[in-house]
């Protein structure tokens, strides 16, 4: 009898390990995710803004890392700098040109585990119709149960792009070319 219970417990615990090896897909929670940017203003100080509408999915499959993916979409007209007049200029043709290019997208091509809580995510960033390769270092920031008992996980990355590489060359002496993006994502397991 003792042996039977031990076998059942061993099989159960082993099956948990197999379940953990299955692919996990997370829907990005737009309410608890952030895309923040900073740009140098007049070469004097850094100015911060954000995008208020970010969506996407993350899939991690420990048994098949080639199937891992990160797909993000940001609505470019959700830019928010706390000044409506400046936001309208940034939405216009000299900057994000939101009428012609309503979304900013990142689609991964490869995700590699780089450490205990770090992943290198290589993919393509598309902004204003220009696509550039990019590798992001994503750090897992936490995981656990949400308020409705749903499982959540979070991660964050910070990287710099040059706005001129994406056709935004207007006002070079006023707004710096280097744009630092801080992306903090919270995903809900499907």
Question: What are the angstrom distances between the C-alpha of 161 and each of 21, 44, 119, 125, 146?
Answer: 35, 19, 19, 10, 34
Query: What are the residue ranges spanned by the domains of the chain?
Result: 23-189
Residue 12, pLDDT above cutoff 70: no
Residue 189 pLDDT: 97
CA dihedral 157, 160, 161, 162 (to 10 degrees): 160
* Beta pairing partners, 20: none
pLDDT per residue as tens digits for the range 45-76: 999 999 999 999 999 898 888 899 999 999 99
pLDDT per residue as tens digits for the range 102-142: 999 999 999 999 999 999 999 999 999 999 999 999 999 99
Q: If DSSP codes are grouped into helix, strand and coil, which group holds residue 90?
A: helix
CATH number listed for the domain at residues 23-189: 2.40.128.110
């Amino acid at each position: 009898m003792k042996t039977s219970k031990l076998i059942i417990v061993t099989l159960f615990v082993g099956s948990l390990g197999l379940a953990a090896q299955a692919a996990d897909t997370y829907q990005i929670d737009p309410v608890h995710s952030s895309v923040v940017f900073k740009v140098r203003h007049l070469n004097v100080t850094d100015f911060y803004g954000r995008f208020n509408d970010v969506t996407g999915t993350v899939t991690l499959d420990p048994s098949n890392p080639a199937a891992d993916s990160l797909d993000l979409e940001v609505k470019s007209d959700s830019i928010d700098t706390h000044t409506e007049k400046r936001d309208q200029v940034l939405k216009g043709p000299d900057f994000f040109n939101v009428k012609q290019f309503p979304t900013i997208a990142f689609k991964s091509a490869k995700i590699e585990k780089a450490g205990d809580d770090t992943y290198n995510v290589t993919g393509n960033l598309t902004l204003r119709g220009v696509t550039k390769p990019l590798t992001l270092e994503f750090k897992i920031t936490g995981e656990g149960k949400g308020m409705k008992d749903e499982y959540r996980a979070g991660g964050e990355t910070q990287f710099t792009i040059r706005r001129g590489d994406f056709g935004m060359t207007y006002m070079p002496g006023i707004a710096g070319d280097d744009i630092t993006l801080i992306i903090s994502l919270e995903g809900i397991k499907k």
